[in-house]
Structure 1
């Protein structure tokens, strides 16, 4: 494998001179620079990114830590991060934390050793000590959804509270008279705010009871088991607001298996706006997050930080949109 010393020998200069040419750091006269570039081309030398990073303090790489790569929401988010990063000349490394804090910490250590320029956290396990360590190592970062309590960070998120209210109001408008909620893990702020939005909207109705709320763990199988439990508790439920689209697919599957017609008997509304909601029958109504815009904004903010721009540590909250589909279609013949 060709090394920097091979380039130096062929061009008749020192390795440090070759390094200055590669990193554009320090003065090299035009004639010498041309000799080095010719040697690089002739030897087809490709500089090691990490080695260059040692000299320039930048490697042209950023990282995205995701909590659960099996949820279609996160690959759609990753697509946006990669697209925007490439447009700025950056490569993206991906890590899947599986919602495990220890795994996330190990990623941070590995990425630090690889001299990554910055990190986007879309996981839900980032802790205050992680933030302190990132800042002490001068690693720029941006958080999607939430930051640890007591730490001012650049956060990009959707308006989950209003989105939940929007979903429940839609179910009421289409004629539902007893609405349940299948929610995600309550240690996750997005799940907590969606549950809060549901409760605030239905708490004054006479039919409301806490037993209408069932956990589903933000997973497809969780949505399936939650739907079964819910319909056994309250067979007269005629509307379900589901805390994310992946669970909503599971809810739909279980209801149809139980012989319950959607939307004629039970209307279903999800949350996220992933493409999977269009691939099932009936297509699922959803409160869509601007997934691409979330990833794009987080990436732009991170690259600004990497380039030394003084980015204010604040929450950037984007609006959501209700997309009505067949799973909540109002049947006027009923």
Structure 2
């Protein structure tokens, strides 16, 4: 395998000159530059990224940790992170952790050995102690692992309140909730929003809440259980769109017409929601915007380590489609 010394020998220049050409750093005569590039091509030389990162102190790589790549929510976020990383000449690495802390730490250790510059993290499995031990910049996205990590999120509780109020205003009298994991800040806040609207209703009990664990499959079973146990339920607020789609399928399985007999609203605004039948009413997050902003914040911290980052919260938008009735 060719080395930088081999290139310098073929081009008859110093190693420092080859380095300046490779890094586009410092003045090099055009004729000399052509000689170096010709030698690189002749030798099929590829710079050693690890050596380069040690020399520069930076690898120009960032990673995004997501818990479940099967959920379309995360690829939509990933696209925003990747686009913005590439726009700033950073290599983007996507790590799917499957909500598995061992897998998460395996990825983390491998990346730190490669001198990763920073991490955008969507996680609820890393402890505060583990996060504190990471010596590269971190920005949390979609959820808040702890108050010491800067985050980019949305107004989850207020958005959930809007969703449940829409169900009430469109005529729903008995509203169930398919919740996400309560150890995730976004899911907990969306459940708080649901409770803020219905907890004083005479019909309400905790039995109207079933966990769907943020997955289609578990939400399908949760919705079947809810609708079988409480056939008077005429509205469901699901804490993410994948669970709302699971609820739509459960209603179809039980022969319940949506929205005539049951209204369903989700949360996230993934593109898949517009393709379901009926199309899904949802509280839409500005997915590209928050993914892009989290990346911008991370790059700012990488380039200026002394910079103090402040967590940011964005607003969700109500999107009326066919799975709920219009407000009365």
Q: TM-score, normalised by structure 1?
A: 0.91
The SS at the match of 1:269 is: strand
Q: In the alignment, which of 139, 144, 151 is matched to residue 142 of structure 1?
A: 139
Q: Which residue of 2 aligns with 1:289?
A: 285
Q: Which residue of 2 aligns with 1:235?
A: 231
Q: In the alignment, which of 295, 299, 309 is matched to residue 299 of structure 1?
A: 295
Q: Deviations over 1:4-30 (max 9, x none)?
A: 1220211224445533543467x7764
1:204 pairs with 2:200: yes
1:96 pairs with 2:96: yes
* 8 Å CA contact retained: 1:64, 1:120: yes
Could you list the structure 1 runs, at least 4 aligned residues long, displaced by more than 6 angstroms after superposition. none
Q: Do the aligned partners of residues 28 and 320 (structure 1) sit closer, same or farther apart at CA in structure 2, a change above 3 Å counting?
A: closer
Q: Which residue of 2 aligns with 1:322?
A: 318
Cα shift at 1:172: 0.6
Q: Deviations over 1:89-117 (max 9, x none)?
A: 11200101111122111111111111111
CA distance in 2, matches of 1:281, 1:331: 20
The SS at the match of 2:81 is: helix
Q: In the alignment, which of 162, 174, 177 is matched to residue 173 of structure 2?
A: 177
* 8 Å CA contact retained: 1:68, 1:96: yes
Q: TM-score, normalised by structure 2?
A: 0.93
CA distance in 2, matches of 1:31, 1:260: 74
The SS at the match of 2:78 is: helix
| Contiguous gaps of at least 5 residues in structure 2 | none
Q: In the alignment, which of 148, 152, 156 is matched to residue 148 of structure 2?
A: 152
Cα shift at 1:50: 2.2
1:246 pairs with 2:237: no
Q: Which residue of 1 aligns with 2:256?
A: 260
Q: Deviations over 1:37-78 (max 9, x none)?
A: 443354443323222112111222111010100101000100
The SS at the match of 1:185 is: coil
Q: Do the aligned partners of residues 36 and 173 (structure 1) sit closer, same or farther apart at CA in structure 2, a change above 3 Å counting?
A: same
Q: Which residue of 1 aligns with 2:86?
A: 86
> Across the two proteins, how many residue pairs are aligned to each other?
327
CA distance in 2, matches of 1:145, 1:278: 21
The SS at the match of 1:283 is: coil
The SS at the match of 2:103 is: helix
The SS at the match of 1:71 is: coil
Q: Which residue of 2 aligns with 1:271?
A: 267
The SS at the match of 2:247 is: helix
Superposition RMSD in Å = 2.1
